[in-house]
Structure 1
Amino acid sequence: MKLLIKQIYDQISKYGLVVIFVLYLLLEIIAKYFHFSKETTNIPMLVKGIILCLVIGLIATRIHKIKNLWLLLVLPVIFVIGQLTINDSFSENSLVIFGKFIAPILFYIIFSEARLNPNYRKITFQIFEWGMLVNSCLLLIGFLFDFNLFESYRGNRFGYSGIFLSPGVASYAYLVTLFYFIIAFKEKVWKNWKFIFIFSSCLFIGTKAIYLGQIILVLYTLTLVKTKYKKLFIALLGIIGAVAAYLFFFKFGLFNKVRETNGLLSAILSFRDRLLLDNTIPYIQENWSFINYLFGGVSNFDLRSQMEVIDIFFFWGILGGVIYLLAYVKHLITFKMNSMLWVFAGLLILIVFLAGNFFVYSTITIFLLMLRERISQLP
């Protein structure tokens, strides 16, 4: 039995990350096809559920070796306490969301125990890069030929995300990909045609998160360039970004219309402030006791604000939210932070504050695992 488990871990270290990356992209395609066909399918959820069960089984075989595992093991207890104190406890919605929250931590653990084999690192990175290049091509095809399947939104709002179902997932995936290239090439990143092509395609995604990320990452890469015009370039780009933000929010377009009718905060947060005031807070007021403020308790997570930091505490409570974040960070960050990584961490935290679904979309986890492997190559 021990030999079989060792062989499984060996295979995961060779092929696991690239297989799971390709598989999750295929699941995104299936989910998006059914979504735009206005039909429903449980295929992606069932496949992900099976994978999650297999991962749990493998982790159980090394339970005595894994550091900080107690943080993960406490989370089901917190979830149960929160559910026992609300009406409609242990609803299908709450159980599914619990699984989605736990999945990233489980993936970080299994791929820490079965780190990518150095002999397979190059092919894994190549498939990842070409996967994003292909999606960028599909994104551009959607824009040029008005192909609805590759749009980010159903309706009149501008945005294309290729095979990604959610524009939020597309934004996170592309931000991670851009930083992956910056990690690999540093100040020479603008000489890499793959990076330039992927960066350019981001302009068509249509989310504020990706545009904010692009501006910050460009400013950061300029700080890496050795030239006497560095400060001038940074100042010009900052001015251009500020002018663009002013025009989009105060002069023309969808965000200006939202600002005029609902206020600047709603325009910046894409009505997430209204979701918080109209859905999240009333649910808390009507259903929560003191225990819930500590351990959470939600029967319908669709009532969330879609501002991720708030949503974590909505689901887990204050104490549970802190423990969840500790577990997430401890199992994701297995490397030493430097100034470059802190820049990306700061950007990601800023966007997570303003946007949602970062922790519950396991596709994002796969991208962060790719980034972690790239970071592991830093000297």
Structure 2
Amino acid sequence: MLFLSGQIGFAPWEQLQKNLWFLDKYLFVVLAFVYVQTIENVSKYYPLFFKVFEVFIIINSICIVLGLFLPTDWFNTYYGTAKRFGLNGTILRSGASTYIYWIALFYYACECFVLKKKKYLPFGLVFIASLLLGTKAIFISYIFLGFFIFILLRGHKNKWVLISAIVVALSGFVFFDNLLHWLVAQSPSLQKVYDERGIWSVVFSLRDQHLLEEMLPLIQEKWTWRNYLFGGGYDMHFRSQFGLLDLFYFFGIIGMAAYLFIFAKLFCSFKINNITSLFLLGTFVLMAFSANFFYETILAFHLVFAKSYFERIDP
């Protein structure tokens, strides 16, 4: 009903059909959580579930590494004559690959440093594969992953490790601009975006332009109070591709609050502690600054996996 309140009277039938397709994608992950809860004694299937995930992520990571050397674009992230560097293996969408590898990196970090399992080799392989994704958002996950491992190894209690970490962090901050410009210069497509739009369009993959030139003008010109409360009955082409802003554009303030509340209630069925809080914070930041989190259907499987994993372990 909240969705229809922002659509009926605003969207013609053809547009309503397209928006219903987006609604279906938004609801897919919610329904996936609901379905898993209906399975009797579902926890007994968790070990098999975890093994399937491990097999998938290892095979995909091997495909990514092989794709770096094979004379084929089968495993590439981007296509076209001016394509960017990047490989995502068998995952078809670059946005999904970032989230999936964030979950995989956090999973192996927990396995190695929390549960003390000797899975350092697959962890290293997954880390290398994540580097080869070619997405900028994956570097956000490294910040949270590095902080996570730093805390687990009690680096904050060793003054030399702490000093080294501070020096590295300060060096990264000081030389970030130079490093970013150097990386841009290595890619013809990114260099073209930089020359035409500037550095922030490179960082946000033109999402800032979608926001400033398409979504915000449409909201200012055409939205009424009902749209602000229940979303817009307009083409999703005008979305910004920032996760939270797109959720607001589609559902409005009330609809977004309801959706996030339901999502959180279904997903956060595990114990909230320092480890799971860091994972949730990292996921939230990735989602806020990237696209397709809520309506990337392939991600539903991996979110169910993360939810199941945190239910199973008790750090």
Task: Answer whether contact 1:178 1:195 (CA < 8 A) is retained.
Answer: yes
Alignment partner, residue 39 of structure 2 = 114
> Structure 1 131/364 Cα, relative in aligned 2: closer, same or farther at 3 Å?
same
**TM-score for both structures, normalised by structure 2:** 0.88
* Pairwise CA distance, 1:356: 0.9
Alignment partner, residue 142 of structure 1 = 67
**Are residues 1:153 and 2:84 paired?**
no
Alignment partner, residue 84 of structure 1 = 8
> Structure 1 118/321 Cα, relative in aligned 2: closer, same or farther at 3 Å?
closer
* Pairwise CA distance, 1:141: 1.7
Letter paired with 2:218: Y
* Pairwise CA distance, 1:378: 2.3
Alignment partner, residue 131 of structure 1 = 56
Alignment partner, residue 334 of structure 1 = 269
Alignment partner, residue 69 of structure 1 = none
1: distance between equivalents of 2:39 and 2:98? 28
Alignment partner, residue 287 of structure 1 = 222
Letter paired with 1:249: L
Stretch moving more, 257-266 or 332-341: 257-266
* 1:239-254 equivalent positions in 2, closer than 5 A: 239=170, 241-242=172-173, 245-253=176-184, 254=187
* Pairwise CA distance, 1:339: 0.9
**Can you list the C-alpha shifts for 1:232-266, whole angstroms capped at 9, x where unaligned?**
45235425644673334234524566445423322
> Structure 1 349/115 Cα, relative in aligned 2: closer, same or farther at 3 Å?
farther
* 1:229-308 equivalent positions in 2, closer than 5 A: 229-239=160-170, 241-242=172-173, 245-253=176-184, 254=187, 255=190, 258-308=193-243
2: distance between equivalents of 1:245 and 1:164? 30
Q: Percent identity?
A: 27
Task: Answer whether contact 1:139 1:201 (CA < 8 A) is retained.
Answer: yes
> Structure 1 144/353 Cα, relative in aligned 2: closer, same or farther at 3 Å?
same
**Are residues 1:193 and 2:121 paired?**
yes
* Pairwise CA distance, 1:316: 0.4
Task: Answer whether contact 2:111 2:119 (CA < 8 A) is retained.
Answer: no
2: distance between equivalents of 1:372 and 1:102? 17
1: distance between equivalents of 2:48 and 2:172? 37
1: distance between equivalents of 2:136 and 2:88? 14
Q: RMSD in angstroms over aligned alpha carbons?
A: 2.3
Letter paired with 2:67: G
2:257 to 322, 345, 351: 322
1:366 to 301, 304, 309: 301
Letter paired with 2:100: A
Stretch moving more, 325-334 or 106-115: 106-115
Letter paired with 2:105: L
Task: Answer whether contact 1:86 1:287 (CA < 8 A) is retained.
Answer: no
**Are residues 1:356 and 2:291 paired?**
yes
Aligned residues: 303
Letter paired with 1:134: I
> Structure 1 239/130 Cα, relative in aligned 2: closer, same or farther at 3 Å?
farther
Letter paired with 2:8: L
**Are residues 1:182 and 2:113 paired?**
no
Alignment partner, residue 46 of structure 1 = none
Alignment partner, residue 90 of structure 2 = 163
* Pairwise CA distance, 1:298: 3.0
Task: Answer whether contact 2:271 2:310 (CA < 8 A) is retained.
Answer: no
Deviating runs (4+, > 4 A) in structure 1?
A: 187-191, 254-257
Q: Which has the higher contact order (CA 8 A, sep 6+)?
A: 2
Task: Answer whether contact 2:3 2:251 (CA < 8 A) is retained.
Answer: yes
2: distance between equivalents of 1:318 and 1:127? 38
Letter paired with 1:209: A
1: distance between equivalents of 2:66 and 2:40? 36
1: distance between equivalents of 2:221 and 2:212? 13
**TM-score for both structures, normalised by structure 1:** 0.74
**Are residues 1:205 and 2:133 paired?**
yes
Alignment partner, residue 18 of structure 2 = 93
Stretch moving more, 112-121 or 97-106: 112-121
